[in-house]
Each structure stands twice: as structure tokens, then as C-alpha cells.
Structure 1
Amino acid sequence: MGNLTGWHGLILLLVVLLLFAAPKLPGLARSLGQSITIFRGEVKKPAAGDESAPAADLPAKDDATKPGA
């Protein structure tokens, strides 16, 4: 037993996981994929009233058009 390294323990853990949790793995992968899809969708759309909008979307402020300048 003294010759077991970290790799042996990792492989043993993987085998035990596959034996006892195999029926639950597809559901886990499906929920993980759905979570990633939701996260990407939330990151791409800007929140309503978000003040960190890009400057290109805001009206340009030109100092030459101000009265008294």
C-alpha cells in the first residue's frame, strides 16, 4: 500500500465515482450545460438602467455647440 501515489488515488476515485454515480452523471451534465447557457445569456444582455453602457451608445457632447463658448 505504500507505493500508491496521487495518480493512483485519482484513478481509484474516478472508478468509484463511475461505479456508484453513473446513473446521475447525465442529469448532472445536463444541468451544468443549462446553467452555462443561462449565464452566457445574462452576460450578453445589458441590464435595464445600466450606467456602464458603452460610450458609442450615448449621445456625443460637443463643446463647440454650447451657447457662450
Structure 2
Amino acid sequence: MGNLGFQEILLIAVVILVLFGGRKIPEFMRGLGKGIREFNDAKSNVQKELEEGMNEKDKAPAKTTTTQQ
């Protein structure tokens, strides 16, 4: 995909304005922002849980087997 120039961005903006209208765009952007924020929160939670799991694995004492005779 090539680089977008000014004319392409302007055309996309006009199409969005025609499709959604001036009043719906702020609602659309607000929803998009909330979605991105929720995605980033979920991503950081998963990363945190993975790191905690790795730390627990490293801290767990090694199991030793003893044989009784």
C-alpha cells in the first residue's frame, strides 16, 4: 500500500462526512477512542498476568524427589 497524500486523505474525510454527517462524527470518534482504550487495557492486563505467571514459575522451589528405602 502506497503512502497517502493530501488529496487521498481529503477524499476519505469528505466520504466520511457524507456518510455519517457532521453530528455523528464526534460520537463515532468517541466510540472509537473507547474501543482503543479498552483494547489497550486488555492487552496490558494480559501482559501483566503473563509476567506474574513467569515470576511465580521462577520463584517456585524446585521439586526434589526423595526415595525411601
Higher relative contact order (CA 8 A, sep 6+): 2
Q: Which has the higher helix share?
A: 2
